[in-house]
Structure 1
Amino acid sequence: MNVSIKITENNNAVHASIAGEIDAYTAPKVRDELIKHAEKKGMQLVVDLTEVIYMDSTGLGVFVGLFKQLRANEGDLTLTGMSERLQRLFDITGLADVMDINTEVEGGV
């Protein structure tokens, strides 16, 4: 399965919608598309995961890296639209306690 990423940018706000699977095969593409926005100072990155049907630990690693990069550059990461399965993955790993997770889908930027 492939992954598709749609990005909308408006000043210091970026909205990314991801569809498909985020695994060892597709995670590098997701990371490469999103990290360039995380390197900018003060970016607000909202990632909509509504259409993500599967994520493994490699995908989690991508979001941990994004979170750290954004925080280092005084930015924020918000994850939205997670299925119960994805939410459970973030809960089990403790990432839900440190990342901003909104179960509702946020509007576009």
Structure 2
Amino acid sequence: MEITINFKEEKEILHVLVKGEIDAYTAPKLRDKLDAIEIEEKANIAIDLSEVTYIDSTGLGVFVAFYKRATRETAHVRLVGLSERIKRLFEITGLSDLMDIDTDKKVELS
């Protein structure tokens, strides 16, 4: 399976739109794209997972690493558009207690 990662800046928010499955095969590509983001102090980053159909533990690790890096820079990261299944994965692992997760939002590419 492939993964697509796009960026869109809008109203002082960097939107990261992810599409596909995040697993051991695709997670390195996602990690590379997230690592390339220059995080400024107090930045707002929204990661839209509305078109992600699957995440394994490797993918969760990518989000944890990015969240930690952003937190060190006092940036705010929000995960948006999670399906019930993906949201449940974050809940089971306890990550929903640490990360800002909003299931109702979705970003459209223009």
Q: Same fold (TM over 0.5)?
A: yes
1:81 matched residue in structure 2: 81
Shift, 1:43, TM fit:
2.0
Tell me the alpha carbon deviations over residues 16-35 of structure 1, each in whole angstroms, 9 at most, x when there is no partner. Answer: 11100000111111111112
Answer whether contact 2:20 2:51 (CA < 8 A) is retained: yes
Match of 2:19 in 1: 19
Q: Equivalent pairs: percent with the same residue? A: 45
Give how far 1:5 is off. Answer: 0.8
> Please, what is the CA RMSD of the aligned residues?
1.9
- In the alignment, the residues of structure 1 paired with residue 13 and residue 5 of structure 2 have an alpha-carbon distance, to the nearest angstrom, of 16
Q: What letter matches 2:23 in structure 1?
A: D
Q: Which sits farther off after the overlay, 99-108 or 4-13?
A: 4-13
CA distance in structure 1 between the partners assigned to 2:11 and 2:35 by the alignment: 16
What is the CA deviation profile of residues 46-66 of structure 1, one whole-angstrom value per residue up to 9, with x for unaligned ones? 000000011000000010001
Structure 2 unaligned residues grouped into runs of 5+:
none
**Alignment correspondent of 1:71:** 71
Q: What is the number of residues matched between the two proteins? A: 109
> Hey, what's the Cα distance between the residues in 1 that align with 2:78 and 2:53?
19
Structure 1 residue ranges (4+ consecutive) displaced by more than 4 angstroms after TM superposition: none
TM-score by length of 2: 0.89
